[in-house]
């Protein structure tokens, strides 16, 4: 009997999907990073989702570029004295196992129970390089997340918050509330997140929208303000590493995209231009 289950069953299946791009990158001779766990973590469902996405767009270069840029920003934070990384909506990310990290670093992963149970099962025999803790939590539960942030921020000197592939799924109100809650603990100093321009979100909705809508995971948030979007909550942009610029540097673009990558970019609003970046924000107390 044919299955009536959607290919992407829920928001957590998007973690299986993006893990496929880390697996593909790992297998390239010129890989920008290596994630030896990604293929196993993505599993059959991840492969099926990626195949459906490939049929809609072959331009998959932004995914490994995003991972590479997040890796670099995290490594820079740790080298600069960061003592804690809080990865919200960590999904199947395996950075605590694959990055060169000091054993004293504390790494906390937060996500929904099902995906963390699945991941823990796959990685059971592996050893993380730093102190790793997993928290099963629905981040939409505001009271519970505030308690968690207060707990994690209390004894951190210099924590980096990571949200990779999360913000675009939130409404403006949800994203602003998250920014506000993240600004409360004094130990939460910096935040690395990915942002897309309104123009890029429209393009992605055209390409992938139906599959994501079926999973009740529509792409919703692409702030017109760009990296300054959370300034009202106290998060100031430090830098934005544009995917297209970095993909050009790393030789990952076709000739047409290489020409587009030469166009100057503003530091703020990108409007209808397709643009995405890994953004580093810093909490500044007024």
Query: What is the closest distance, in whole angstroms, from the C-beta atom of residue 136 to ligand SAM in the complex?
Result: 9
Helix (H, G, I), strand (E, B) or coil at 182: helix
Q: Quick check: helix, strand or coil at residue 144?
A: helix
Q: Which of 8, 15, 183, 277 binds ligand SAM (CB under 6 A)?
A: 15
CB of 1 to ligand SAM, least distance (A): 29
Distance (Å) of CA 83 to CA 55, 79, 151, 156: 42, 10, 15, 7
Please pick, from the candidates 139, 160, 196, 280, the single residue that binds ligand SAM as defined by CB under 6 A. 139
Of the candidates 25, 35, 83, 93, which one interacts with ligand SAM according to CB under 6 A? 93
Pairing of strands 235-242, 276-283: antiparallel
Considering only 51, 140, 144, 259, the residue that binds ligand SAM (CB under 6 A) is 140
Q: Is 200 in the site for ligand SAM (CB under 6 A)?
A: no
Q: Which CB, 11 or 192, lies closer to ligand SAM? A: 11
Cβ proximity of 94 and 38 under 8 Å:
yes
Q: Are 229 and 272 in contact (CB under 8 A)?
A: no
User: What is the helix (H) or strand (E) element at residue 176, kind and residue range?
Assistant: helix 172-182
CA distance to 14, 60, 114, 211, per residue, from 216 (Å): 11, 23, 17, 9
Given candidates 11, 42, 65, 135, which one binds ligand SAM under the rule CB under 6 A? 11
Residue pointed to by tokens 């196992």: 97
Q: Does 211 bind ligand SAM (CB under 6 A)?
A: no
| 164 interacts with ligand SAM by CB under 6 A | yes
Is the Cβ of residue 73 or residue 261 nearer to ligand SAM in the bound state? 73
Interface residues with ligand SAM (CB under 6 A) are 11-12, 14-15, 18, 89-93, 111-112, 115, 138-140, 164-166
């Amino acid at each position: 009997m044919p299955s009536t289950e959607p290919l992407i069953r829920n928001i957590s299946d998007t973690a299986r999907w993006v893990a496929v791009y880390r697996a593909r990158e790992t297998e390239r001779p010129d890989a920008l990073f290596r994630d030896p766990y990604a293929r196993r973590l993505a599993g059959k469902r991840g492969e099926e989702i990626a195949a459906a996405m490939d049929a809609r767009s072959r331009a998959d270069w932004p995914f490994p570029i995003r991972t590479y840029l997040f890796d670099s920003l995290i490594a820079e934070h740790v080298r600069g004295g960061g003592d804690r990384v809080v990865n919200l909506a960590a999904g199947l990310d395996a950075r605590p196992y694959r990055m060169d990290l000091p054993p004293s670093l504390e790494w906390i992963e937060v996500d929904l129970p099902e995906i963390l149970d699945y991941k823990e099962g796959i990685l059971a025999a592996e050893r993380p390089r730093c102190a790793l803790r997993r928290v099963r939590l629905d981040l939409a539960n505001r009271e519970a997340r505030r308690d968690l942030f207060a707990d994690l921020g209390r004894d951190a000197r210099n924590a980096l918050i990571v949200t990779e592939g999360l913000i675009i799924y939130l409404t403006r109100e949800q994203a602003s509330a998250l920014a506000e809650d993240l600004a409360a603990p004094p130990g939460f100093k910096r935040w690395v997140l990915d942002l897309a321009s309104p123009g890029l979100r429209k393009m992605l909705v055209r390409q992938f929208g139906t599959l994501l809508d079926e999973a009740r995971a529509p792409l919703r948030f692409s702030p017109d303000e760009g990296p300054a979007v959370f300034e009202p909550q106290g998060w100031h942009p430090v830098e934005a590493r544009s995917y297209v610029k970095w993909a050009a540097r790393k030789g990952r673009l076709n000739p047409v995209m290489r020409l587009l990558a030469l166009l100057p970019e503003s530091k703020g609003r990108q409007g209808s231009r397709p643009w995405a970046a890994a953004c580093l924000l810093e909490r500044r107390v007024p």
